[in-house]
Chains A and B, each alone.
Chain A
Amino acid sequence: MPEEFLVARNLHKSFNGNNAVNGVSFSIHKGEVFGLLGPNGAGKTTTIRMLTTVLEPDRGDIEIGGHSVRQDAEGVRALIGVCPQELALYVELSAMDNLVFFGRMVGLNGKEAKAQAMSHLDLMGLADRAKGKVDKFSGGMKRRVNLAIALMGHPQFLFLDESTVGVDPQSRNNIYETIEGLRDEGMTILYTTHYMDEADRLCDRVAIMDEGVIIAMDTPHALKSQIGNPNQVTLEDVFLKLTGRTLRD
């Protein structure tokens, strides 16, 4: 039985009376890449904000690495790295300064932070631009800096919220390879994306959310099998079948 590293139980969150998340429960095994999929407004980002201690659930609880988000948010934060959907960078500073600062914020000393920053920038193919001002970077480069920051402190659990939005194929491929490398090293990852081929390629299991609830959860292969020959149907076919073709806000 694989060890459960993250357990979310009956999560609820509403804003001004609207249920954004309505009774979501799932668990993620240690070393697993778990995909959280869903159309816009499905509740993915709200779920992630609760998992990462930013939002407090109205009801339910979350445990990460044995620490309760409600009772020991500090303990949870010591285990996680977060790459948010929007770029969250100090663009007026250099890539190196950004990584070092966030490294210090996760508890590294100055020397460790610099060493890790250089190593992660190298991993992202940005070593030669380490001292460049982020403001001058392309969208893809900024995305890679965004991801590199999430790796500072070698977190045990990584949240990647639509990390490949708006990047060119080269940057996207670099991010894929990075995620695959992290998975091979045993890092547990929660991944959200609108690109179903990404989820199919990277995720061990996926949960599909719609209107604040999880409507399906299994391996990509098993989900595809539910609607046809898994070698002929795609995860996108499954997604559209489950969530419908109506346009979302």
Chain B
Amino acid sequence: MSELPLKNLRDVSERYLSEWVAPGNAGCPACGAVLAVRLAMKVLGENTWGVMTTGCMAVNYTVPGTGTARTPWIHPLFGNAPALGSGLAIALDRRNLQDDINLLIVGGDGATADIGFQVLSAAIQRQHRFIYLCYDNQGYMNTGGQSSGTTELNAVTKTSPFGSITEPKRLSEIFMNHQLKYLATANIGYPVDFMNKVLKAKQEDGPSYIQISTPCIPSWGVESAQMIKVAKKAVTTGYEILYEYSHEDITLSNPSRKFRNKSKRDPLIEYFELQKRFSHIINDDQALSLMEKRVDDNWERIGF
């Protein structure tokens, strides 16, 4: 079994024939998060224990009669997944199974940035061996689309009907300041890049964190057929930067490389105009220029 990086989608289909997330889950059509977990599980395979935090994905998997999981999973509480996962990691370690069984903890941005924030922070500090996958759709979408700690400035949610007025937490940068073996940001529009990141995390002997941006069809106000397009626009406009961080070293990932050069970026408005949650700023030059400035600041702050 080769653990070399994947080159392209053909590589994916040749190497990973099996599906560990069965069809028939209760997710919305074109849900970015469902696809993210499915692709991650392709890389991790059947020898994986999973922890699925409360949120969209827990509901997708556990509504009676769906039977989506083909590998062992636990749905814990909303805020305790990294702690329960720590216990599983201890058990794997004590039973000498840590090299044979992967441990994947999946949480949405609410679980990661808000209710389970200190829990994940401590689990990383303890250096258990696990992969934490945060599917970031910038809100509490399972409860109908309320703001979370990662909701973008100006984004309309159920709890920010005129657009969010607070800066989102810079989650990946917060966890960069933890002692992770491996950290990466990913985007569901770039599956090969994402799967290679899961592959790297899998081979680490310690905690790793991957945050993947996954559009939410109903709460972002996006057409299902446009999900991948919206996701990609986040990268091609430079709004999202995909990178890896390990051993104190930060590397720009391939899909983002070209957009270090500002002139290569798509106009930022092309990202916003695909989503109803930003429709109120499309003609607001002041808001748009602030958003553009924030993109430039991000590139500068992260150091590319």
Co-assembled chains A and B: no
